[in-house]
Chain A
Amino acid sequence: MAHKSIKARTATRIIKGIMISGVALLCTAGVLAIFAGDALGKSSSGSISAALEPRQIPLGGTAMLSVTLSGIEMAQPSLPRVNGLHFIPAGQSSEYRSVNGRISSTVSYLYQVQAEHSGDFTIPPVEATINGRIKRTQPLSFRVLKSGGKTGAYSRALPSPRSGVSGTSAPLSRDEANQVVFLRVIPAKGRSYVGEMVPVEIRAYFRDRLQATLSSLPLINGDAFVWQSLSKEPQQAREDIDGHANNVWTWHTAMSGVKEGEYPLEVQLDVTVIVPRTSRRMRSPFGRDFFHDDFFDNFFSQGERKTIRVASLPRGMQVLSLPQQGRPDNFSGAVGRFKLSATASPRDAMAGDPITLKMRVRGSGNFDRVSSPVLSSQKGWKTYTPGAVFKPSDSSGARGEKIFEQAIIPLDGSIREIPPVVFSYFDTKTQKYVNLHTKHIPVKIARASSGNQETASQSSDFQPGASSVKKSATSATDVLMEGSKKGGLAPIQVTLGPVVSTLRPMVENPWFVGAQGIPLGALFTGLFLGRRRRRMTHDPKLARKKHAKQMITRAVRQMDRNIAAYDVVGFFQACRCAAQERLGEVWALPPDCITLAEVKERLPENAAGIRQVFETADAVAYSGQSFTQDELRKCRELVIQELRNLEGKR
């Protein structure tokens, strides 16, 4: 029994557990289904919201109403009519999302809200059909104060203009009146000729206090016109049109029609507008507190950036073709009004020398079609393709000066003037073709002295500096024919001639530079020797002294050699020779004249050593007296000592 009851209780517990788990699973699934259904229902049904900033404006001011729609299929919202309020469309922005393969979008419509009179207004719910259902926003309250109240969020709109020029523009069209940003393209004239340069102004108008920035430069539609580049910095100004203040940004450019007909001029511009977000802070139940001041509203609600594209109203432009009648042969398509002048330099030259002809075309028109004026007669002249420089004097490039420089070569020494240069254009004012001529330019051309004068007239037609012509392979046959027909170049050399390994000059060769030391050294040696010779010539005592010194040195060497050779006779002869040289120097006598008798007579008693040298030398020469080598060495020392003593007595 007890065992059965235990089993039954266990089974009951298991069944209860299973039931509880099933109920929990069902509840979880239900909750998930509810949330998912809600989410799906929300997503599928879509939503709409509206925000108005600021909620309070002075009379004459503007507020911005933003209506945001989210869903898959949406229609444009219909704004309710409110007596005393105007809703002006100011553009829209879109955002697309893809969630689980379903694409939804969010579109924001912007309206500028203006009031006719002061007072409290209530904007009823804005309706829109989203995903097939009509959705409504909450009503919005709005207060308009009398003039002089606080300014709203748009007081920090476009930057204040740099120049306070108040322009006079055409009144607003119906479409422009509904826009806070609009564009106008204003050509200087509504009708032009093909190629005629027409100055154009592109103006972007921003309602006062609108916060906006440019996202692009104006984009020009259509291919019937060629446009010059826009001015880099737009000119800024403030204009009142139909009582509305506008900040105006103006770009200057110019355009020219490329084909005949009537074509629209249309410009687009991307602008980023800052739309203020609705303040989500709770309102104080006790009225406006300190932090609900407009300043803090503006500070804390930075706004949302929305990029919109605005387009100008198409404006028709008629392009006329240029008349065929009276068109000059050298007409290159220049249309406008121009003046021509020309100068030449040098005006004193030889035949064959190049002269630079400078031609200036100034005025207004399509300078890109202004080609170089040409000489009315090229007889006797060789001309080269001119170079051109254009210097615009306005931002559109329709006015300015184009300068052409052309090299011309007189081929004849009899030429006395440069013929007039001619330039043709179509005058848009008189609607006729005009041929401009300069005056003759007098020049002095001397005849070339060499036989090469003819070469200028025989030159070929290629242009210097024109790489395309230069690098093109010239037909060899043509060149040879040219050479044979026109005299050509002097013939080539048939032998190689002396060859050098380098073109560097000899003067840079270090060996050569070093070799120049030899003649320079010889020069200095000559200078030294010449000076020495002069000194010797003018000072005989010095010469005698130097000579005696040299001879004594030689005699001493001879003494040493005789000692080594044990030549007693030779030794004493060398001793006597040395003594004679010294005494000759001291007594200013020739050494050969000094004998033993002279020595005995002139030398004092204490110079016994010298006397003994002379006596011994005679004795050895005539008696054959012998000495040992040691005695000869002692004798040598004695002689040298005596010579020094004599030197000291000079």
Chain B
Amino acid sequence: MITTAIAARRMIVTHLLFAGTLAFLMCSFPPTAAGADAEAIFSQGNQAYTEGKFDDAIALYTDVMRSAGFSASLLYNMANAYYQKKDVGQAILNYERALFLDPGNPDIEANLYRAKKEFGLKNEPPPHWKKARNTLTLDQWTWLGSMSLAGFSILFLFGCVGQKKPSRPLFRVIGGAFVLLFLVSGTATTSRYMDMNQGVITGDDASLRVSPFASASKTTRIKDGELVRIAKTYKDFVLVKPSAGNSGWIAKKEIEPVIPVQDWDKHVPETRNKTRNSLWAHAKNSR
């Protein structure tokens, strides 16, 4: 009788674990949405592109984006259309977005490289560790990390609850592999997530300012299409750090984040009054 009760309890635990894992998997998959209409409009955009009607192509691609969402192909084609129009900022922006969804895609990388060269932008090859990191998307790294954590947890739990203990060496090998995978994917996820705070200069003749005010003096001119790191925001201005040179403030309308945001202030921390002193200190240093 006692043995039966214990067996029943273990079955309940197992069922709970199965249900939890199922729920976890369902939550982990990103929502997708694509329909036949979106495919049709996308094809029309491609047709317009091949006919050289780049404005029409961009409009159609934008319709697809609004109705269905983002895809690497869509963003890549849109970037090509902007490139043909010689719209530097939008071309680079959409290539970067496409690479976010499909890192390592040779077509996207080649065209981005070409665009940067064409427009006289800095074009340094990424270091090896970044190349390795860019083999997967941020979501894929996140998924991998999450799965390795889940795998390790389940293994550990069964090892503790199960009647028959797994052999110690096997447990160590599998458990160690899960832990290693979790550490690697966690590091890659963190690194890629930190890179999300990037933006592309889209304004013509944009300049950095010493402080976040329209009347502030301009320090350096920044090229259309340049990729910058977004540090913080203050009202209608953003503090950006170019890959080379000092940081400075730029109007929000002259920059677009690689990952589109509904609300800038939620995307990056806004400078509050308490940090105004440091803001002015920064402005003075820049001067």
Chain A residues engaging chain B, CB cutoff 8 angstroms = 352-354, 384, 387, 407, 409, 449-452, 455-456, 459-460, 462, 464-465, 467, 469-471, 473-474, 476-477, 479-480, 483, 489-507, 509, 511-512, 514-516, 518-523, 525-527, 529-530, 533, 550-551, 554
Chain A residues with CB below 8 A from B97, complex form: 503
Please measure, in the bound complex, the distance between the C-alpha atom of A527 and the C-alpha atom of B153, giving whole angstroms: 10
Q: Do A409 and B76 contact each other (CB < 8 Å), given the known contacts A470-B87, A498-B71?
A: no
Contacts of B197 in A (CB 8 A): none
Question: Cβ of B234 < 8 Å from any Cβ of A?
Answer: no
Q: Which of B32, B70, B146 contacts A503 (CB 8 A)?
A: B70
Interface string of B38-54 (1 = CB under 8 A from A): 11001100100111111
Q: Are A533 and B143 interface neighbours, CB within 8 A? A: no
Rounded to whole Å, the gap between the CB of A526 and the closest CB of chain B is: 4
The answer to whether B34 touches A474, judged by C-beta atoms less than 8 angstroms apart, is no
Q: Which residues of A contact B2 (CB under 8 A)?
A: 550-551
Complex CA–CA separation, A474 to B83 (angstroms): 11
Binding site for A on B (CB under 8 A): 1-2, 17, 20-21, 23-24, 27-28, 30-34, 38-39, 42-43, 46, 49-55, 64, 68-74, 76-77, 80, 83-88, 97, 100-101, 106-107, 110-111, 113-114, 117-125, 138-139, 142-143, 146, 149-150, 152-154, 156-161, 189, 193, 196, 204-205, 221, 223-225, 259-260
Do B139 and A522 touch (CB < 8 A)? no
Contact B24 A507 (CB under 8 A): no
Pick the contact of A522 from B20, B46, B53, B83 — CB < 8 Å?
A: B20
Q: Is the CB of B32 within 8 A of A499?
A: yes
| Bound form: Cα–Cα A384–B117 in Å | 12
Given the contacts A505-B138, A527-B160, A551-B2, A465 and B27 also touching, CB distance less than 8 Å: no
CA distance A449 to B69 in the complex (A): 36
Shortest C-beta distance, A140 to chain B (Å), equals 58
Kindly list chain A residues whose C-beta atoms are within 8 Å of the C-beta of B54: 476, 479
Nearest 6 CB-CB pairings of A with B: A476-B52, A493-B73, A467-B204, A526-B157, A530-B160, A499-B34
Q: How far apart sit A464 and B83, CA to CA, in the bound complex (Å)?
A: 12
Q: How far is the CB of A338 from chain B (nearest CB, A)?
A: 25
Known interface pairs A470-B86, A529-B161; A464-B121 also in contact (CB < 8 Å): yes
Would A452 and B27 be within 8 Å (CB), given that A495-B73, A501-B69, A502-B70 are in contact?
A: no
Chain B residues, Cβ within 8 Å of A470: 86-88, 204, 224
A499 and B101 CA atoms in complex are apart in Å by 10
Chain B CB count within 10 A is highest, among A462, A506, A527, for: A506
Whether A519 pairs with B149 at a CB distance below 8 angstroms is: yes
Which residue of the partner chain B has the closest CB to A513? B27
Q: How far is the CA of A575 from the CA of B178 in the complex (A)?
A: 52
Instruction: Determine whether the beta carbon of B149 is less than 8 Å from that of A516.
Output: yes
Q: Is the CB of A530 within 8 A of B86?
A: no
Contacts A474-B86, A515-B27 given; does A464 touch B53 at CB 8 Å: no
Can you name 17 A-B pairs with beta carbons within 8 Å? Answer: A464-B88, A464-B119, A467-B204, A476-B52, A489-B80, A489-B111, A490-B111, A492-B76, A496-B64, A497-B71, A498-B72, A501-B32, A504-B259, A506-B143, A518-B23, A526-B157, A533-B160
Chain B neighbourhood of A493, CB < 8 A:
72-74, 76-77, 107
Of A352, A387, A480, which one neighbours B117 at CB under 8 angstroms? Answer: A352
Partner of A525, one of B80, B120, B157: B157
- Whether B118 contacts A460 by the Cβ 8 Å rule is yes
| B118 in contact with A515 (CB, 8 Å) | no
CB pair B52–A515 under 8 Å, yes or no, is: no
B152 CB to closest chain A CB, in angstroms?
A: 7
Would B117 and A456 count as touching, CB distance under 8 A?
A: yes
CA distance A521 to B24 in the complex (A): 12
Assess whether A511 is in contact with B27, with CB atoms less than 8 Å apart: yes
Q: Which of A460, A469, A507 contacts B189 (CB 8 A)?
A: A507
With A450-B110, A518-B150 already in contact, 20 other A-B pairs whose C-beta atoms are closer than 8 Å: A354-B120, A354-B121, A409-B117, A455-B114, A459-B118, A464-B223, A467-B204, A476-B52, A489-B111, A493-B76, A499-B74, A501-B32, A503-B259, A506-B30, A506-B138, A506-B143, A518-B23, A519-B149, A519-B152, A523-B152
Determine how close the nearest CB of chain A comes to the CB of B246; give it in whole angstroms: 16
> Given A409, A492, A514, which contacts B77 in the complex, CB threshold below 8 Å?
A492
Closest Cβ–Cβ distance, residue A356 to chain B (whole Å): 10
Which residues of chain A are near B72, meaning CB under 8 Å? Answer: 493, 497-498
Q: Is the CB of B142 within 8 A of A507?
A: yes
Number of A-B residue pairs, CB cutoff 8 Å, is 228
Contact B225 A452 (CB under 8 A): no
Closest to A518 in B: B20
Query: How many angstroms from the CA of A219 to the CA of B149 in the assembled complex?
Result: 81
Cα A465 to Cα B88 in complex, Å, equals 8
- By beta carbon, the residue of chain B nearest A457 is B117
**Contact between chains at B149 and A500 (CB < 8 Å):** no
Question: How far apart are the CA atoms of A526 and B46 in the complex, in Å?
Answer: 55
- In the complex, are the beta carbons of B157 and A523 less than 8 A apart? yes
Contact B117 A519 (CB under 8 A): no
Residue of B nearest to A532 (CB): B160
Q: Give bound CA distance, A354 to B139, whole Å.
A: 34
Provide the residues of chain A in CB contact with B224, threshold 8 Å.
464-465, 470
Cα distance A501–B125 when bound, in Å? 31
Query: Residue among A455, A464, A502 with the most chain B CB within 10 A?
Result: A464
For B17, what are the chain A residues with a Cβ–Cβ distance below 8 Å? 522
Distance in angstroms from A543 CB to nearest chain B CB is: 13
When C-beta atoms are compared, the residue in chain B nearest to A523 turns out to be B153
B85's partner among A353, A474, A504 (CB-CB below 8 A) is A474
Q: Are A499 and B76 in contact (CB under 8 A)?
A: no
Residues of A within 8 A of B121 (CB): 354, 464
With A493-B77, A496-B39, A503-B97 already in contact, the answer to whether A465 and B71 are too (CB < 8 A) is no
Considering the chains assembled together, what is the distance between the CA atoms of A491 and B34 in angstroms? 23
Which chain A residue lies CB-closest to B125?
A: A449
Determine whether the beta carbon of B28 is less than 8 Å from that of A512: yes
Rounded to whole angstroms, the CA-CA distance of A464 and B88 in the bound complex is 7
Given the contacts A496-B39, A496-B42, A489 and B83 also touching, CB distance less than 8 Å = yes
Partner of A387, one of B46, B55, B221: B221
Residue of B with least CB distance to A462 = B86
Closest to A351 in B: B117
From B88, which residue of chain A is reached at the shortest CB distance? A464
Contact of A515 among B24, B38, B43, B71 (CB under 8 A): B24
Report how far A647 CA is from B223 CA in the complex, Å. Answer: 85
> Within the complex, what minimum Cβ distance (angstroms) separates A520 from chain B?
7
Which among A387, A492, A502 is the interface contact of B49 at CB below 8 angstroms?
Answer: A492
- CB of B159 within 8 A of CB of A530, answer yes
B117 x A520 contact (CB < 8 A): no
CB distance from A10 to the nearest CB of B (A): 94
A479 and B142 contact, Cβ closer than 8 Å, known pairs A464-B121, A503-B260: no
Q: Which residues of chain A have C-beta atoms less than 8 A from B159's C-beta? A: 526, 530
- Chain B min CB distance to A535 (Å): 13
- Closest chain B residue to A514 by CB distance? B27
Question: Would you call B117 and A492 a contact (CB within 8 A)?
Answer: no
Residues of chain A within 8 A of B118, CB atoms compared: 455-456, 459-460
Instruction: Kindly list chain B residues whose C-beta atoms are within 8 Å of the C-beta of A505.
Output: 138-139, 142, 193, 196, 259
CB contacts (< 8 Å) of B23 on chain A: these are 515, 518
A492 in contact with B27 (CB, 8 Å): no
**Chain A residues, CB < 8 A from B259:** 503-505
Chain B CB within 10 Å, residue with most, of A477, A502, A503, A526: A503
Question: By the criterion CB–CB under 8 Å, are B69 and A499 in contact?
Answer: yes
CA distance A511 to B31 in the complex (A): 12
User: Counting chain A CB atoms within 10 Å of each CB, which of B49, B55, B114, B146 scores highest?
Assistant: B114
B114 engages A512 (CB within 8 Å):
no
Chain B residues whose C-beta falls within 8 Å of the C-beta of A460 in the assembled complex: 86, 118
- Are B117 and A459 touching (Cβ within 8 A)? yes
Q: How far is the CB of A474 from chain B (nearest CB, A)?
A: 6
How far is it, in angstroms, between the C-alpha of A480 and the C-alpha of B117 when the chains are bound? 19
Contact B46 A499 (CB under 8 A): no
Q: Closest Cβ of chain A: how far from B163's Cβ, in Å?
A: 11
A499 B71 Cβ-Cβ under 8 A: yes
**Residues of A close to B38: CB separation below 8 A:** 496, 499
